[in-house]
């Protein structure tokens, strides 16, 4: 049997930090209000000249270095993103030669906040079926560019960043299983007002630019319920118990959702990787960012059993059970 394992991780954040106190200057909000409802203290925001590909490039280079992988060895390159540099070419294609990759397949996957787990699922399948030996997988976003900074409900949440992993073929399971789902019936709860074929409505308070639109309370309820189901599905498909897990690495959307998931798994928050307080919600980048941080600071060690999960606009949701 062929399996895939994580050979190396990497991440990159913009330099600019926007704190809750910064937002107090322009919004009807407070540091206390934001912390109590989201757990966020600060978030990273890309500069005007920092595109998604700029952030993704740095994360990918670090992952390749950590994996001791020459770029010429990569057989497939996948980026999960909902904020590509261009409509086309894909962000993956824009980066392929910059990273020194061969003429391998390169593509973007848009599943909003679940984008990295969707991309990881695809990469795992390519390796398991023998079509690839090494796959570079990235989650990268510049959500700040579609945030209406005059609307509290979204301005306090979303942020920018990138994370990446190199997957390689192995004789023993690294990724034990991965699972992806979607339900478009909930599309109106978390969406944008922009599109290619539908155009977009002009937004006077956002300079005419497209923007994220969200009904937060409804999203929270569906997210907790849905993530609970996929965690049960993932453990059940591997005949494992909640107590077998060493670490939960969740999508960093909201501390209340993360806490609810930890409670559902009977896990101490000491075994949950939390970055939302410093990173905000970086969508498809949040899971690989959190993974890389915990690997590099030594919390996650080889042999640990990890549960990765995410939920995002679509609605989409996904998980991966990984023996690191």
Q: Running DSSP on this structure, what letter comes out for residue 50?
A: -
- Three-class DSSP category at 209: coil
* Distance (Å, whole) CA 155 – CA 158: 6
Note if 148 is an active site residue: no
The answer to whether 108 touches 138, Cβ cutoff 8 Å, is no
Q: Which is catalytic among the residues 93, 251, 254, 279? A: 251
Tokens of 231: 């965690």
Q: Running DSSP on this structure, what letter comes out for residue 281?
A: B
- Three-class DSSP category at 29: coil
* Distance (Å, whole) CA 274 – CA 40: 11
Beta bridge partners of 178: 320
Q: Which is catalytic among the residues 110, 121, 193, 281? A: 281
- CA dihedral sign of residues 292, 297, 301, 307: negative
Q: Which is catalytic among the residues 60, 93, 104, 113? A: 113
- Three-class DSSP category at 299: coil
Other C-beta atoms lying within 10 Å of the C-beta of residue 196: 7
Other C-beta atoms lying within 10 Å of the C-beta of residue 234: 21
* Distance (Å, whole) CA 116 – CA 300: 19
Tokens of 160: 């920018």
Token look-up 């306090």 returns 156
* 3-state secondary structure labels for all residues of 75-122: CEEEEECCCCCCCCCCHHHHHHCCCCCCCCEEEEECCHHHHHHHHHHH
Tokens of 139: 């989650």
Note if 279 is an active site residue: no
Measured torsion, CA atoms of residues 116, 12, 8, 123, in degrees rounded to the nearest 10: 20
Note if 121 is an active site residue: no
* Distance (Å, whole) CA 34 – CA 314: 25
Catalytic positions are 113, 251, 281
């Amino acid at each position: 049997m062929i399996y895939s394992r994580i050979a190396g991780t990497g991440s990159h954040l913009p330099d600019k930090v926007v704190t809750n106190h910064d937002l107090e200057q322009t919004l009807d909000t407070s540091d206390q209000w934001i912390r109590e409802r989201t757990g966020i203290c600060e978030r990273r925001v890309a500069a005007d000249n920092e595109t998604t590909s700029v952030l993704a490039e740095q994360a990918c280079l670090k992952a390749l270095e950590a994996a001791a992988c020459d770029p010429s060895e990569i057989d497939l390159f996948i980026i999960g993103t909902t904020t590509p540099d261009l409509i086309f070419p894909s962000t993956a294609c824009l980066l392929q030669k910059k990273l020194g990759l061969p003429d391998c397949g390169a593509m973007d996957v848009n599943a909003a906040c679940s984008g990295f787990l969707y991309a990881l699922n695809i990469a795992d399948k390519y390796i398991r079926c023998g079509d690839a030996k090494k796959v570079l997988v990235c989650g990268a976003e510049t959500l700040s560019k579609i945030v209406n900074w005059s609307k509290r409900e979204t301005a306090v949440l979303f942020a920018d960043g990138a994370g990446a992993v190199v997957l390689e073929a192995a004789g023993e399971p690294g990724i034990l299983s991965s699972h992806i789902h979607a339900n478009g019936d909930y599309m109106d709860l978390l969406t944008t007002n922009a599109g290619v074929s539908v155009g977009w409505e002009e937004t006077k308070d956002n300079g005419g630019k497209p923007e994220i639109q969200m009904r937060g309370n409804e999203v929270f309820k569906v997210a907790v319920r849905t993530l609970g189901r996929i965690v049960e599905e993932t453990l059940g498909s591997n005949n494992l118990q909640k107590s077998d897990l060493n670490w939960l690495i969740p999508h960093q959307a909201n501390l209340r959702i993360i806490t609810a998931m930890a409670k559902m798994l009977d896990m101490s928050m000491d075994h949950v990787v939390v970055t939302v307080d410093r990173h905000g919600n970086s969508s498809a980048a949040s899971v690989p960012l959190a993974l890389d941080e915990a690997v590099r600071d030594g919390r996650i060690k080889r042999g640990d059993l990890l549960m990765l999960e995410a939920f995002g606009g679509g609605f989409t949701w996904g998980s991966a059970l990984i023996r690191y």
